[in-house]
Structure 1
């Protein structure tokens, strides 16, 4: 209700159109990549954002982040119905929250910042240069351990080390004094703030009539009307869903698919292929025998609220970003990169008694009634085993030629059996983790009740866990790959390593969609580094 009011107020006050006929740079999307690019480039820069401003102190309170999911600040996308996964979810569909707000998905996420592993970006830049680019970005964003650390997170970190895992630690977050901090917070500090045009939904890229492979602007919808704006360089930073969607509506994509939706193909490229996402499972799988001080009453305690707003926030659960500790594990210690991460969520799905959290996770009513609802009154946590490098790949397609229709997102979760095997290995690690001395202090145990739909399997057998994973298949909201970057000769390439769309002049894609393979951590850090590299490259080549 609050977000709906705020959304309408911001739309009312935010009806301006671009000031100039032509810009040096037009950037589509204000998320981690788009806002970094817009704040770094010089000249006439226009930033187009489909969402509203949302500039309100309540949106900077980390623990309120789930309330933005399913709100007007969210595109409210859902995947297509999955055949072999998501069986415990309504229509076998995962909700995919993506920010429709100034600041993009960085306004909706858990604020986790991790550089990942060199393998995640060696396709783009060498290690030494990447270090410098990371530092360029990090100079402008406060990154530190979260202000609030739950007592169970300490046990989680210590338990991981008791098992011999070195890479278990508290999460680093993009925050300032406990509050959410994004590149947008720097906007007013810039000498020449980029021009922003909010509530502007970009429909397609515009091209030169004499040269059909030369981008010259974009078409966008605002105030119920279509408008054109022109630029010398067009940069799509609308994310793994938004950028390929705009390219497809512009006639850039697989010719066969574009023909199906009656869009003339301008350039036959594999746009929308190679969709990958970090997949996980295990919501509220662990029960504790003591409370953590994170009930709704604890959160709204006036002293805790005052601590967040007027003191340093160290003791206030309002500063909890959702995940305050993580671990990384190689299933084969000879591997270069970790196979799994483990994310500790100290607040369970049942924490709000089924009012909102179960809706945004799209849990079926019968599953809620049989499995989750009976847990109300107990203390549950989630230690999510996150598959970092899934072998299953999906696609993004258009539903129709109408740009206002949501795309068809098919992540094809768990299509490859190896993904199941690794997630089961993750659950086995969790079973050992809760038996460590640090975790046993909290009486941690796996929920002993059969999951609905898996009653025919013996509890704790591999077959049972496969059934459980196929039912409780959850996204970690980290999609990448739909505009894959690579060499010109590679037929799977959409974007070249200079960020230009293959065979298209003046059109660039800079966001998570160009990452060829799911990164070895939450992708925000890698995406930010990619955007910063683009800025540095543009500045170094400008006359």
Structure 2
């Protein structure tokens, strides 16, 4: 079957060749380390960029090169949350919205799920943050600094994450409310999870009680799972861990093949899901490669009147007539507040930053999930590359096969350790898997050895257990007045003994997969007992002393940083924003992103961040008397993709929705819950 490098994409009123669109983001050619990989990966990237639905030239936002003088709303940060906020606010055609994003547009290859790691570490798309030296974690890293991959691109971390759609446990949100975030209990936030969703498996895998349809964000399982995935679920049943269809439903325990944010085998970042359908709105302006430097505030009245940012080395200022919204993420939103003179006065005066408002909690309460890992060898299977010309062409033609998933990374499970609450109603351990990722190849040949120096090397898979309720807390502050300098980040990982205790126990729980009959008989699974050199003197592999050393040396920080602009009551000394996400003491300024979470949820943070963006947008609409429900039906259907993208094969079984019913539900919830 013939397939060319490029297609002619039929946009409204004009056509464009997809294979000449080189301006969309950096190349992935060197993502596998360069060398022998470059030629094949370059050719593959040319095919990817040549597909109209992946490059999507017709529907991308058209960035501005100069801001207008004034906007109703300015959103600083076009990441996971900011893309949602800008899309929702610009639904009102009378509101003029500016979105300012430090990175560029997402590259076409980022839409391919198996290329999940292609842009990690690329300075064009990754902030490449490193923490300050840790005393109890990341001891095996240079200078004992933990590395934090953070998306610097339109769509933010939703362009580089694993796409897993996990909300956490309902108890998490009830605890938010108990901590002072009034009106953020599970019953209050569930509608704002559902309104985003276009879940394609309601009725077949998940329930409409917990999931929505017709929203911007397509949610479903990947089209492809490695053969071993089903056996891992069987093994979970065998060893007593259990299996569930939906960890976002009424059974938050057991193992599952997770639903992810993908549509027809392609990534659905928030930029793709929320901004591209809005790209034709004349009232939405987007400035890319533009770094926000401070919020402009009247020091006497403490009223916000604009945003300052840098574009191509020049300072720009845009005025806001209503509000500025910080959606720069858990690390950059507090940094922007501090640069603007909002934060602990002692930290600001050290750097000669004029104090606009003393707010002690800015940058405090920094916390994150921390993982460890266990490797397993599959002694009955030689290690080969999952990426080859056959799997690549299957993806190009059908959007199925190994490239349409993240391999074993779509598998996960939630369990109770012996340290969990006795009633078992709030599980404290999550396990992630890795392996069988079709991310690299030297030649594209079938059965290409993973290690050309040892063709008999066996396949390896990993399990990464995570403690879901970490007790350790850190903070961040400014390194200097320079807005381009990264903040000083002190996570203080594993400084609370309970965090280590649970991680050690979770490793033992993960090792039980190596004892399962089905994985032993079929794959010859065996735990890799190669010791970490730094821990060999601390105890024998498998002892508690060894594991305690390992979690400190080979620490695995997740990218679930939260809490640095904590939401809470005015009486909470560490609270930065109110329950309507307004910054205390400042008029016309909100923070809407993961930084406002008082406590990290029991799972991945992308879905909760999108929920926060939906809810924050609803607060703003209510404040400014525009109470229409969110648009839930103007995203592009599979039919639209066929018409605009050169006839690519897609799934045309779109979920049918009752728009009027859903709009009534949203309006009803807004009436009851937005007025907090």
Q: What is aligned with 1:22?
A: 70
Alpha-carbon distance between aligned partners in 1 of 2:410 and 2:565, rounded to the nearest angstrom: 32
Q: Does 1:505 align with 2:556?
A: no
Alpha-carbon distance between aligned partners in 2 of 1:393 and 1:152, rounded to the nearest angstrom: 38
Q: What is aligned with 1:365?
A: none
Q: Please tell me the root mean square deviation across aligned C-alpha atoms, in Å.
A: 2.6
Deviation at 1:274, TM superposition (A): 0.6
Distance 1:338 1:345, change over 3 A: same
Kindly indicate whether the alpha-carbon contact (under 8 Å) linking 1:171 and 1:323 is maintained by their aligned counterparts in 2. no
Deviation at 1:511, TM superposition (A): 0.4
Distance 1:48 1:257, change over 3 A: same
TM-score by length of 1: 0.89
Q: What is aligned with 2:354?
A: 264
Deviation at 1:254, TM superposition (A): 1.3
Q: What is aligned with 2:251?
A: none
Kindly indicate whether the alpha-carbon contact (under 8 Å) linking 2:402 and 2:437 is maintained by their aligned counterparts in 1. no
Kindly indicate whether the alpha-carbon contact (under 8 Å) linking 1:200 and 1:220 is maintained by their aligned counterparts in 2. yes
Moved more, 431-440 or 213-222: 431-440
Deviation at 1:275, TM superposition (A): 0.5
SS of the residue corresponding to residue 427 of structure 2 reads coil
In the alignment, which of 361, 372, 378 is matched to residue 288 of structure 1? 378
Kindly indicate whether the alpha-carbon contact (under 8 Å) linking 1:26 and 1:235 is maintained by their aligned counterparts in 2. yes
Deviations 1:148-170 (A, max 9, x none): 21223222222222233232000
SS of the residue corresponding to residue 525 of structure 1 reads helix
Alpha-carbon distance between aligned partners in 1 of 2:497 and 2:429, rounded to the nearest angstrom: 16
Q: Does 1:206 align with 2:296?
A: yes
Kindly indicate whether the alpha-carbon contact (under 8 Å) linking 2:519 and 2:525 is maintained by their aligned counterparts in 1. yes
Q: Does 1:39 align with 2:87?
A: yes
Q: What is aligned with 2:120?
A: 69
Q: Which has the higher contact order (CA 8 A, sep 6+)?
A: 1
Deviations 1:97-144 (A, max 9, x none): 111111111001001111211233232423333222111111211101
Distance 1:349 1:420, change over 3 A: farther
Alpha-carbon distance between aligned partners in 1 of 2:163 and 2:436, rounded to the nearest angstrom: 16
Q: Does 1:475 align with 2:557?
A: yes
Alpha-carbon distance between aligned partners in 1 of 2:372 and 2:299, rounded to the nearest angstrom: 50
In the alignment, which of 262, 269, 274 is matched to residue 175 of structure 1? 262
Distance 1:155 1:321, change over 3 A: closer
Alpha-carbon distance between aligned partners in 1 of 2:340 and 2:364, rounded to the nearest angstrom: 16
SS of the residue corresponding to residue 142 of structure 1 reads strand
Deviation at 1:210, TM superposition (A): 4.3
Distance 1:209 1:126, change over 3 A: closer
Kindly indicate whether the alpha-carbon contact (under 8 Å) linking 1:110 and 1:322 is maintained by their aligned counterparts in 2. no
Q: What is aligned with 1:136?
A: 195
Kindly indicate whether the alpha-carbon contact (under 8 Å) linking 1:153 and 1:344 is maintained by their aligned counterparts in 2. no
Moved more, 395-404 or 318-327: 318-327
Q: What is aligned with 1:274?
A: 365
Kindly indicate whether the alpha-carbon contact (under 8 Å) linking 1:170 and 1:324 is maintained by their aligned counterparts in 2. yes
Alpha-carbon distance between aligned partners in 2 of 1:413 and 1:152, rounded to the nearest angstrom: 34
Kindly indicate whether the alpha-carbon contact (under 8 Å) linking 2:115 and 2:439 is maintained by their aligned counterparts in 1. no
Distance 1:461 1:61, change over 3 A: same
In the alignment, which of 393, 405, 425 is matched to residue 336 of structure 1? 425
Moved more, 243-252 or 301-310: 301-310
Alpha-carbon distance between aligned partners in 2 of 1:535 and 1:512, rounded to the nearest angstrom: 14
SS of the residue corresponding to residue 477 of structure 1 reads coil
Deviation at 1:375, TM superposition (A): 12
SS of the residue corresponding to residue 158 of structure 2 reads helix
Q: What is aligned with 2:331?
A: 241
In the alignment, which of 291, 300, 308 is matched to residue 219 of structure 1? 308
Distance 1:21 1:15, change over 3 A: closer
Alpha-carbon distance between aligned partners in 1 of 2:99 and 2:504, rounded to the nearest angstrom: 44
Q: What is aligned with 2:130?
A: 78
Residues 38-437 of structure 1: pairs in structure 2 closer than 5 A: 38-41=86-89, 42=92, 43-54=95-106, 56-71=107-122, 72-122=124-174, 123=177, 124-138=183-197, 139-166=215-242, 167-186=254-273, 187-190=275-278, 192=281, 194-208=284-298, 210-211=300-301, 213-231=302-320, 232-269=322-359, 270-282=361-373, 285-291=375-381, 295-296=384-385, 298-299=386-387, 301-313=388-400, 315-320=401-406, 323-331=409-417, 332=420, 333-347=422-436, 377-437=457-517
Deviation at 1:352, TM superposition (A): 8.2
Distance 1:145 1:461, change over 3 A: same
Kindly indicate whether the alpha-carbon contact (under 8 Å) linking 1:239 and 1:511 is maintained by their aligned counterparts in 2. yes
Q: What is aligned with 1:452?
A: 533
SS of the residue corresponding to residue 30 of structure 1 reads coil
Q: Structure 1 unaligned runs (5+)?
A: 354-372
Alpha-carbon distance between aligned partners in 1 of 2:305 and 2:517, rounded to the nearest angstrom: 63
Deviations 1:464-490 (A, max 9, x none): 111111111011111000111001111
Residues 508-523 of structure 1: pairs in structure 2 closer than 5 A: 508-523=590-605
Deviations 1:180-201 (A, max 9, x none): 1123224342362621011110
Larger radius of gyration: 2
Deviations 1:386-418 (A, max 9, x none): 111111111111111111111111111111111
Deviations 1:244-269 (A, max 9, x none): 01001111111122222222222222
Q: Does 1:488 align with 2:570?
A: yes
Q: What is aligned with 1:528?
A: 610
Kindly indicate whether the alpha-carbon contact (under 8 Å) linking 1:396 and 1:410 is maintained by their aligned counterparts in 2. yes
Kindly indicate whether the alpha-carbon contact (under 8 Å) linking 2:28 and 2:109 is maintained by their aligned counterparts in 1. no
Kindly indicate whether the alpha-carbon contact (under 8 Å) linking 1:153 and 1:346 is maintained by their aligned counterparts in 2. no
Distance 1:484 1:90, change over 3 A: same
Deviations 1:343-386 (A, max 9, x none): 01124899889xxxxxxxxxxxxxxxxxxx99993321110001
Kindly indicate whether the alpha-carbon contact (under 8 Å) linking 1:27 and 1:236 is maintained by their aligned counterparts in 2. yes
Alpha-carbon distance between aligned partners in 2 of 1:414 and 1:98, rounded to the nearest angstrom: 21
Kindly indicate whether the alpha-carbon contact (under 8 Å) linking 1:133 and 1:533 is maintained by their aligned counterparts in 2. yes
Alpha-carbon distance between aligned partners in 2 of 1:68 and 1:479, rounded to the nearest angstrom: 19
Distance 1:328 1:538, change over 3 A: same
Alpha-carbon distance between aligned partners in 1 of 2:506 and 2:155, rounded to the nearest angstrom: 33
SS of the residue corresponding to residue 519 of structure 1 reads coil
Distance 1:223 1:487, change over 3 A: same
SS of the residue corresponding to residue 575 of structure 2 reads coil
Deviation at 1:218, TM superposition (A): 1.0
Deviations 1:505-533 (A, max 9, x none): 11000100010111101011111111111
Deviation at 1:336, TM superposition (A): 3.1
